[in-house]
Structure 1
Amino acid sequence: MCFEGSYHLFYQYNPKGSVWGNIVWAHSILMDLVNWEALEPAIFPSEPFDIKGTWSGSATVYPDGNPVIYYTGVDAKGQQVQNYAIPADITDKNLRKWVKPKEGNPMVVADKEINGSAFRDPTTAWQANGYWNILVGSRKGSTGVAYLFKSKDKKTWTKTARPLHEVPNTGKDVKHVLKVSLDVTRFEYYTIGTYFPDQDKYVPDKGQVDGWDGLKLDYGNFYASKSFYYPVKFRRVVWGWANESDSKEEDVKKGWAGIMPIPRAVRLDPSGKQLLVWPIDDIETLKGNKVQMSNQQLETGKPVKISGITGNQADVEVTFSIPNLEKAEPFDPSWKDPRDLCYKKKSRVQGAIGPFGLLAFATEKLEEFTPVFFRIFKAQNNKHVVLVSTVMTNVYKPMFGGFVDVDLSDRKLSLRRLIDNSVVESFAAGGKTCITSRVYPTLAVFQDAQVFAFNNGTEPITLEHASAWSMESPRKMNN
């Protein structure tokens, strides 16, 4: 949230270890969403309504300038309830201390309809038709539910007669996005549609897939994101969490676990059918030495190094040119899940058009590398299907992948990779498909980490243009 010219980031944190447990609300402040300072925790278990846990939630800054945190507490009976906290001293611009008023807490408890063991993560409040509104996630069996609660005074909250989203329909003019983080799959799904405040209803657009086969905000290790309006840049910004993909034992050894990837600006694709997700331009302040390449032919099995940058901490943007699309492999209609297809078609499995892309965290002789690559197929309707995928070599880690809805009439594909020691964030085709990966190189570390462009397909690929920068580390602020 933004308060008095600073941005406040709250996140789930275990101050006693690097595995889940003892969760508090950690608190950092930022001036520009890049450089930050960690403060003492804002919220921790202390009351009967949260004594067994202070879990996720949201922050709202109301029109009177007063911020409120809404969060899920686990009460003494183990039930999940919704609580609120307010600053102890509103004149402290850093909001170091927060209190939980006895009056009104818990503010929402599960009724007979709601599963009290799966009832959490209240949203930021919004105003419509004279009411303030929040959503709280839950489930009925295997069906996800977004319960809507309304309030006139921001104190007494009443559940609406039905959840926000249940009736199929369409809308016009204004588009809304409903996003959900699913605990079962650990992915974030969204639909684009219309919110009808007079009916307390959200309806996805026709053609939007509202389920596990639908659009993802990120097709990799990215979860539990929150969005807010960034007034300085007039942008909607989403900030997520990337947990580890190695073992708890390794987390204990290194003494920490989980990171916040770079904040991302989101906007509607001109087609109106999906979002475009892109790193905030504030990170331009971290860019150092720049190198460029152009019109580089990528021969099969002969990677080209992008020299002159720090390979363990870099920002790389490339555009590939595809001279010949006619020889694309046929696409099997049974390939519904891009991750399954990625396991079948890895970066070293030769195709016609691809795999081609970038190798990060690569050693000089490629004993170790982390690829992100494209592979192009031709479907039965003669349209092309573009797969983008990434995985680390030599260590068993999950493979991530997604399809890219892109027009190849210009025979070009773009890719951007943010590389930072234990994470790679990849943005394909201007942010149409994003993949965040946690990586743990053992050989390609620090000065030994290199970046290559490669092509393992039989058809030629041209690296039309590449721009790459060494990236500095964010600065810790001192107030």
Structure 2
Amino acid sequence: MTGPMYYKGVYHLFYQYNPDGATFGHDQMVWAHSVSYDLINWIHLNNALVPSEPYDINSCFSGSATILPGEKPVMLYTGITDNRHQVQSLATPKNLSDPFLREWVKHPQNPVMIPPSGVEVNNFRDPSTAWLGKDGKWRVIMGAQNGDQGKLILYQSEDFINWKEGPNPFFATDNTGVCECPDFFPVSIHGRNGVDTSVQNPSVRHVTKTSYLTRQRDYYFLGKYVDDQDLFIPDTYFTGTSLDLRFDYGRFYASKTFFDPQKDRRILWGWVKEADTKQDDIDKGWAGLQTIPRQVWLDESGKKLIQWPIEEVEKRRGEHISINGEKLVSGSRIEVSGITASQADVEVIFEVPELESAELIESDRIDPQLLCSKEYALTSGVIGPFVTREGLLCGTILKKGHMELSLHPKLKTISLRVLIDHSIIESFGDEGRVCITSRVYPSLAIGKDAHLFVFNNGTQSISVSKLNAWSMKKAQINDEQTLK
């Protein structure tokens, strides 16, 4: 994911692409480019950035888009030089009147940033979206590494061309390795509306996000941004345990947000990696995809972020089935028939009469992702047990620090929304407070042979208070050349 943005009525998605193969290539990665009017249906365009100069001849790696005053988009991206160093370069649209921004021009002063002292030359990458400070200077943060310490380094510029390293360390974590794909953005303290990346006032808090390459996970930190010192003070520091906040506890990495001015919202995308073999990817001719775009905002508690599929997803809903008030005794299941289970949107509320009797799994002792990744792992419990396989949702895990259940004044309930799209399952627990993205590669449950069930493997009876499920229509994915 590189440089998502909204420009002249069009959403833009740039992404890492290997034109010579199905898997990641270290020598010829380019910026592919697609556009959309609704974030659901997409048109593929020609590649936006390709290796061509000494400063990016060995790949155009990730970066970000920023909209400068006067509605002028610019791109900062990482180039791999002829001597394998990582440097940052600038690109601008050739024709601002083209809403599709089909052509991009590399700046003659590239590279505009080179690895500073104390940073490994091959681990200095992925500039963030820039924000404008109260002093009129632009800021970006860079992912970096020094030994086993991961760093986020802040740079300043008055003209977006000449950049200088900031006076203070911005963010660092020990024993993590390189920080990739950093993101930094404000979230409103009141309400769900997003705000522009440059907003700095008492009505917002700030989020710093980093992707740790060695862990293949995205972590985020809520905190305070001291703008006159360019310091970020997180509420909590990285612990390396499951107490750390994450956007998603599944196969989700290298995420990116952008502010959507059309609907005043902040949108998050993540890279969903494959869970099969490299040869499988080569055989099918592609690997990896993006999640459904998610709107993100601050929970009322102020302690975590909430994510929810963008509203446009609901326009793809087709056949509908509902179940209300069905009791599920221990070991029972109900088939949700009448919809296409291989592409579905499911919202369900479970009523649990004695929720307080459910055991809590201590966050600092058990990692839910590791638990759910073990083939046929078994976790017994009152609301369980959960039989799991890699790629399948690990049921509802009650964990201190991760799932704060919304309780009805009289009835105790657990909510879940699941988006199913063949090999991808995106699950949103407790109204988006906990998210898990999974991959599953069925050999028999394909198309019309896929079935959807609601089940209870716990020792306690529960009820399906309300369930709504819809078949989902396919998105339209076209190549611009075929539309002419």
Partner of 2:186: none
Deviation at 1:371, TM superposition (A): 4.1
How far has the Cα of 1:430 moved from its partner? 0.5
2:411 matches 1:405: no
The letter for the 1-side match of 2:467 is A
Q: Counterpart in 1 of 2:338?
A: 308
Equivalent in the alignment of 1:391: none
Change in 2 beyond 3 A, CA 1:463/1:15 = same
TM-score with structure 2 setting the length: 0.86
SS, match of residue 134 in structure 1: strand
2:363, 2:288 → 1: CA distance? 37
Which stretch shows the higher mean deviation, 109-118 or 277-286? Answer: 109-118
Distance 1:265 1:333 in 2: 26
- 1:74-120 deviation per Cα after TM superposition (whole angstroms, max 9, x unaligned): 10111000011111222222111112122x20000012222211100
Cα deviations by residue, 1:241-300 (Å, 9 ceiling, x for unpaired):
111111110001111111111000000000000000110011111111111101111122
Work out whether 1:27 is the aligned partner of 2:33: yes
Matched, 1:8 2:30: no
> Where does 1:447-458 land on structure 2 (aligned, <5 Å)?
447-458=448-459
Alignment of 1:201-216 (within 5 A): 201-205=231-235, 208-213=236-241, 214-216=244-246
CA contact (8 A) 1:26 1:42 kept: yes
1:175 deviation in Å?
0.7
Tell me the residue number matched to 2:305.
Answer: 275
- Corresponding residue of 1:40: 46
Deviations 1:16-71 (A, max 9, x none): 21011121100000101111100010001100000111100011111122111110
After superposition, the Cα gap between the structure-2 partners of 1:61 and 1:334, relative to the gap in structure 1 and judged at 3 Å, is closer
Corresponding residue number in structure 2 for 1:68: 74
Counterpart in the other structure of 2:106: 100
AA of the residue aligned to 2:286: W
- 2:93 and 2:101 in contact (8 A); partners too: yes
CA apart distance, 1:130: 1.2
Q: Aligned-pair distance for 1:325?
A: 2.9
Once residues 260 and 224 of structure 1 are traced to their aligned partners in structure 2, the CA distance between those partners, rounded to angstroms, is: 10
Whether contact under 8 Å (1:166, 1:201) holds in the other structure is: no
Residue in 1 that maps onto 2:126: 121
**How much has 1:464 moved relative to structure 2?**
0.8
Deviation at 1:369, TM superposition (A): 9.4
CA distance in 1 between counterparts of 2:213 and 2:18 reads 19
| 1:434 partnered with 2:435 | yes
Q: How does 1:170-181 map to 2 (within 5 A)?
A: 173-181=203-211
Deviation at 1:173, TM superposition (A): 5.0
Report the Cα distance in structure 2 between the residues aligned to 1:332 and 1:283, rounded to whole angstroms.
35
Moved more, 46-55 or 331-340: 331-340
**Alignment gaps of 5+ in structure 1:** 361-367, 377-384, 387-401
Cα–Cα, structure 1 residues 15 and 195, in superposed 2: closer, same or farther, change >3 Å? same
**Once superposed, what is the RMSD of the aligned Cα atoms?**
2.4
Residues 166 and 203 of structure 1 are in contact (CA less than 8 Å); yes or no, is this contact kept in structure 2? no
**What corresponds to 1:143 in structure 2?**
149
> What is the alpha-carbon distance in structure 2 between the residues aligned to residue 448 and residue 291 of structure 1?
18
Aligned to 2:191: none
What is the rounded CA distance, in whole Å, between the counterparts of 1:329 and 1:174 in structure 2?
36
- 1:234 & 1:469 partners in 2: Cα distance? 28
Residue 341 of structure 2 contacts residue 447 of structure 2 at CA under 8 Å; is this kept in 1?
A: yes
Q: 1:457 offset after TM fit, Å?
A: 0.9
Gaps of 5+ in 2: 174-200
How has the CA–CA distance of structure 1 residues 235 and 172 changed in structure 2, closer, same or farther, with 3 Å as cutoff?
Answer: closer
5 Å-filtered alignment, 1:74-473, equals 74-102=80-108, 104-128=109-133, 129-165=135-171, 173-205=203-235, 208-213=236-241, 214-329=244-359, 331=361, 335-342=365-372, 349-355=379-385, 370-376=392-398, 385=399, 403-408=402-407, 410-473=411-474
How far is 1:340 from its partner? 4.1
CA distance in 2, matches of 1:331, 1:77: 49
The CA distance in 2 between the partners of 1:189 and 1:405, in whole Å, is 19
1:334–1:422 CA distance, 2 compared to 1 (3 A): closer
| Cα 1:329/1:242, change in 2 over 3 Å | same
2:22 pairs with 18, 42, 63, which one? 18
Using a 3 Å threshold, how does the CA distance of structure 1 residues 257 and 82 change in structure 2: closer, same or farther? same
Identity of aligned residues (%): 43
Name the CA distance, whole Å, in 2 between partners of 1:256 and 1:264.
23
Q: Distance in 2 between matches of 1:66 and 1:371?
A: 43
